Amino acid sequence: MNILHIDSAITGDASVSRKLTADIVAKLTDANPGATVTHRDLNDGVPAIDSDWFAAVRLAPEHPTPEQQALIATSDAYLAEVQAADVLVIGLPVYNFNLPAQLKNWLDQIARAGKSFRYTAEGPEGLLTGKRAIVAYSAAGTPFGSDFDHASGYLRFMLGFLGIADVDFVAADRLAMDRDAGLARAQDALDKLAA
């Protein structure tokens, strides 16, 4: 089993989502002793896509410049980690009712026509099939799955668009209202999670 462990929280050691992703990875590796883990901390920085990225990665020039080659290599590296993974463990802290910018940037880097999805006569088809995602959701005030939780539904949709339909959530929500209850809900979901 190859596990891709993705963190995106900006709060360092105080991060609930980072603790949850670490606990999920530990549960998976305990149950699968031969598993390999690749850790990617998106808080280290993920370049946003822009017109230079579009010209290099999407338009794929026959003779890319050195600058374009660097943009292509970065995007390819993010995508290769996902392609090699059997399980993705993704930290999803909610900021201002949505996912962090660095997590959105990562999704933009890996959502590549012809590589992670393709268009067919029947509509788009995800190419990253046969994978599982476990998402560690944390929020101070946004209830998981509520009308103003714009993070979990979007992430589930994007993963499904790319072909990853097997998605579980471990949610620690409403932490500002009742931290102990929120953490207890997450622990209960973690305990029930199949490894």
pLDDT band at 5 (very low <50, low <70, confident <90, very high): very high
Residue type, 17: S
Q: Is the pLDDT of residue 195 over 90?
A: no
Cα angle: 126, vertex 128, 131; to 5 degrees: 125
Average pLDDT over residues 156-174: 98
Binding annotation: 15-17
Q: Is the pLDDT of residue 101 over 90?
A: yes
Percent over 70 (pLDDT), the chain? 100
Ordered domains of the chain (ranges, CATH): 2-192 (3.40.50.360)
pLDDT band at 10 (very low <50, low <70, confident <90, very high): very high
Binding annotation for FMN: 15-17
Phi, psi angle pair for 166, to nearest 5°: -90, 90
Question: What is the overall mean pLDDT for the chain?
Answer: 97
Alpha-carbon torsion (13, 86, 101, 145), positive or negative: negative
Q: What is the 3-state secondary structure (H, E, C) of the chain?
A: CEEEEEECCCCHHHCHHHHHHHHHHHHHHHHCCCCEEEEEEHHHCCCCCCHHHHHHHHCCCCCCCHHHHHHHHHHHHHHHHHHHCCEEEEEEECECCECCHHHHHHHHHHCCECCCEEEECCEEEECCCCCEEEEEEECCCCCCCCCCCCCHHHHHHHHHHCCCCEEEEEEECCCCCCHHHHHHHHHHHHHHCCC
For residue 46, the model assigns a pLDDT of: 98
For residue 172, the model assigns a pLDDT of: 97
pLDDT band at 168 (very low <50, low <70, confident <90, very high): very high
For residue 158, the model assigns a pLDDT of: 98
For residue 66, the model assigns a pLDDT of: 97
| CB contact at 8 A, 117 and 127 | yes
Phi, psi angle pair for 95, to nearest 5°: -120, 120
For residue 84, the model assigns a pLDDT of: 98
The Cα–Cα gap between 37 and 34 comes to 10
Average pLDDT over residues 50-66: 96
pLDDT band at 6 (very low <50, low <70, confident <90, very high): very high
Average pLDDT over residues 184-195: 93
Q: 109-147: per-residue pLDDT in tens? A: 999 999 999 999 999 999 999 999 999 999 999 999 999
